[in-house]
Structure 1
Amino acid sequence: MTVNSKFTYVSQAHDYNRSGVDVMDEDWDTLIILDACRYDIFAEHHDLPGKLESRISRGGGTVEFLRGNFRDRELPDTVYVTATPQISRLQSELNVEFHDIVDVWTDRWDNDIQNVPPDEMTDAARDALEKYPNKRLIIHYNQPHGPFLGPTAEELVIGPNREADPSLLEFLTYELKHDLVTAEDWRAALRETFEIVHDYVAELLEEIDGKTVVTADHGEMLGERGSPIPISYCGHQIGIHHDALVKVPWLVYESGDRREIESGEKTESGSQDYADQSVGERLRDLGYMN
């Protein structure tokens, strides 16, 4: 494991990583976001067509990524298809106008895995591609962000010691803090989750024309040490701009003709205001809120 001994903390004057790339200024027709996907895990375990590069993200977490790329912008040529409720949570602060926001988490959430399954997210992406043939599409998967999928996750968090109340990710974090789960366990669970979502992304790429980029909003720390307190950390947190968090994959794949992108008025379904309880419950499942 490569260990970087330095954190970079966000300046109090800024609330996202100003050194990161503005994804909306990049050239793409479809932007596929894999939440919390480290560059090294992507590079070592992907088998997707295209050219892999890297970029520096504007966030060490999803909130920073959203602030840095979308706040106070009018994007009438773009549709955001999302498995994460963070845009709804930050709706007032972000003040962003997409042509539409497709909140997949509202009707395709699986309570057993406490997340939107990648197959459901892929189906929602297909629906959006058909419905919006002349828009830029952002497709934001929750995986490989926890709760993790795969055999390691099942072994770690599905067992007699887990109470019913904590979310799966909260439980795994508790186990890590009490030395019941190692950073290597966390890496294995993240990798297996990536491998599962990877296969669905591979299917989707076969069906998308134009220029597609596969990237991440941020990465994940897996035992790297920070300063000034030299402790190992697993997970991610806004305000920390360690390489493990802000260096993200940027895979460029072109197939068929480019889409003719057109602007359009905001739809009635975009930027809906959901009850705080609904958003909070989903974010808690994802490990964001108590």
Structure 2
Amino acid sequence: MFERDWDVLVLLDTCRPDVAEEVSGGYPFVPSDVPSITSVGSTSWEWLNRTFSEAPNDVVERTAYVCANNFSQQFGDEFEPDPASFGLLDEVWRYGWDDDLGVVPPETVTDRAVDVRRNGEFDRLIVHYMQPHIPYRSLDVGDRADADERGAAQRSVWDLLQMGDLSRADAWDAYRDNLRWVLDDGVAPLLENIDADRVVLSSDHGEAFGEWNLYGHYRHVPAAALREVPWIVTSATDSGQLEPEVEPEEIHLTDDTINERLTALGYQ
């Protein structure tokens, strides 16, 4: 990613080029024929590891990363760099999590990204939204894998798909709706409230809906459904309309809380 030309990189977690094309008619910044690139990973963990571990230190030092993905906790632990190496590492998932939604809502990420872009002095900004990743706001099918009274985890959307209890069409509709959610409440207001000559909309990886008998996403899988991601180039002009209100907080999260949030995202 750092070898490519961009001022602001917007990551829409799990977004595939084909689903972006399906919603293109509603968004002037999404073309009907979406360009794509091959991601360096098929999961967020893999993308983060390969992207930042290989980035030059002086580049990372001039980069701000506003992140809703919990796997940023692995910086300095499972992979480089150390969190202090960034110009700014704003882990929105630590303080902006919505327990009712089971995820960080896109407007919270945008609020922080606008504040960082306006007031920070960084060469580059990465804005990492969790949508269209599960949980799907239009489905109540156990995305969050909450335990019932017997202690058994509810089946995830991927379990339901494989067992035939949820159709691919219904799952895809929910996935596409999550993309509209982040475009409406996240990306559109972001592009109207920052200044940037070159904004790229992309993703860390894709999502499988039965291709090669794959459901969801997994590490080290070279399937196109998981590795091909959008590369949409646009620009942004700050209207000044959005007044950021979200303040970052120093919150200590227990391992149990972090694991609960990973479960909500289908990782446990």
Scaled by the length of structure 1, what TM-score is found?
Answer: 0.75
Q: 1:255 to 1:174 in 2, by over 3 A?
A: closer
The aligned counterpart of 2:241 is none
Q: Is the 8 A contact 2:17 2:35 kept in 1?
A: no
The aligned counterpart of 1:43 is 21
Residue 91 of structure 1: SS of its match in structure 2? coil
Q: 1:235 to 1:131 in 2, by over 3 A?
A: same
Write the distance in 2 (CA, Å) between the matches of 1:167 and 1:36. 23
Match of 1:54 among 2, 14, 36: 36
Q: Deviations over 1:203-233 (max 9, x none)?
A: 21122222111101011111212xxxxxx22
Q: Deviations over 1:223-268 (max 9, x none)?
A: 212xxxxxx22211111111111111011113469xxxxxxxxxxx
- What is the 5 A alignment of 1:156-235? 156-157=141-142, 163=148, 171-200=156-185, 201-210=187-196, 211-225=198-212, 232-235=213-216
* Larger strand proportion of the pair: 1
Q: 1:203 to 1:50 in 2, by over 3 A?
A: same
Scaled by the length of structure 2, what TM-score is found?
Answer: 0.81
Unaligned 5+ runs, structure 2: 239-247
In the alignment of these two chains, the number of paired residues is: 242
Structure number with higher relative contact order (C-alpha < 8 Å, ≥ 6 residues apart): 1
The aligned counterpart of 1:229 is none
Q: Deviations over 1:79-135 (max 9, x none)?
A: 111111101035312221211110101111111111001121221212222231433
The aligned counterpart of 1:67 is 49
The aligned counterpart of 2:102 is 114
Write the distance in 2 (CA, Å) between the matches of 1:273 and 1:79. 22
Aligned CA-pair RMSD: 2.7
The aligned counterpart of 2:267 is 288
Q: Is the 8 A contact 2:207 2:217 kept in 1?
A: yes
- What is the 5 A alignment of 1:70-85? 70-71=52-53, 73=55, 74=57, 75-85=60-70
Q: 1:167 to 1:59 in 2, by over 3 A?
A: farther
Match of 2:12 among 30, 34, 46: 34
Write the distance in 1 (CA, Å) between the matches of 2:225 and 2:62. 32
The aligned counterpart of 2:72 is 87
Tell me which amino acid in the other structure corresponds to 2:208: M
1:157: how far off?
4.6
Identity of aligned residues (%): 33
Q: Is the 8 A contact 2:7 2:124 kept in 1?
A: yes
